Amino acid sequence: MLIYITQGIVLSMYAAVIPGPFQAFLLSETLRAGWKKTLPAALAPLISDGPVLLAFLLVLSRMPSTFLDALRLGGGLFLLFLAWGTYQSSRSALSVGNIDQDAAPRSLLKAALMNLLNPNVYIFWGTIGAPLVLEGLDISFWHGMSFILTFYGLLIPVLGGMIYLFGTLGKLSERTQRTILLVLAVLLLGMGTYQIWQGGMGLVG
């Protein structure tokens, strides 16, 4: 069982700290709404990953090849939507008094949708995560569950810690915050465009 716990630790750290669309989203939301309002977004993988993992466990070898391409296309469009929202935030003041009181639930839902449309989630569970769980389940129920429990048991606190650290950027000047948000908007735009290109090429190829 130790091998599955170890793999859960290593892979959760990788999923949390490797820069990607989800991490960029968390950073932009933290600067926009504050770390306290964004903190619930750390729970997003618990909402988005469950259906994905279950689907791969049930139909792991039957997933059509065009699925990830269509997902990349949808995820790219959603990233463009996030880029536009981040750009709009970069043009407005980021004072604490302007923080929307409904930001926390919206951050969680947006983060869950962001993760659900992230092809990396499907690639991870389809090629690494789900096979490890199935391998563990062949030994015993708790061998398979040890990987899942370790993975999320570490992933969620690490994401929460990252959001808190991102929140310290709120002490920067308004001009610096706006600059960071603008850079994030450009990054999200680039990621979205790239995913749309990948998805489109895959679907027509």
The pLDDT value given to residue 101: 42
User: What would the pLDDT profile of 4-56 be if each residue is shown by its tens digit?
Assistant: 898 888 888 877 766 677 877 888 788 777 888 888 889 989 888 888 888 88
Can you give the three-state secondary structure of the chain, one letter per residue? CHHHHHHHHHHHHHHHHCCCHHHHHHHHHHHHHCHHHHHHHHHHHHHHHHHHHHHHHHHCCCCCCHHHHHHHHHHHHHHHHHHHHHHHHHCCCCCHHHCCCCHHHHHHHHHHHHHHCCHHHHHHHHHHHHHHHHHHHHHCHHHHHHHHHHHHHHHHHHHHHHHHHHHHHHHCCHHHHHHHHHHHHHHHHHHHHHHHHHHHHHHHC
123-146 average pLDDT score: 84
What is the reported pTM? 0.67
87-107 average pLDDT score: 57
Residue 94 clears pLDDT 60, i.e. is over it: no
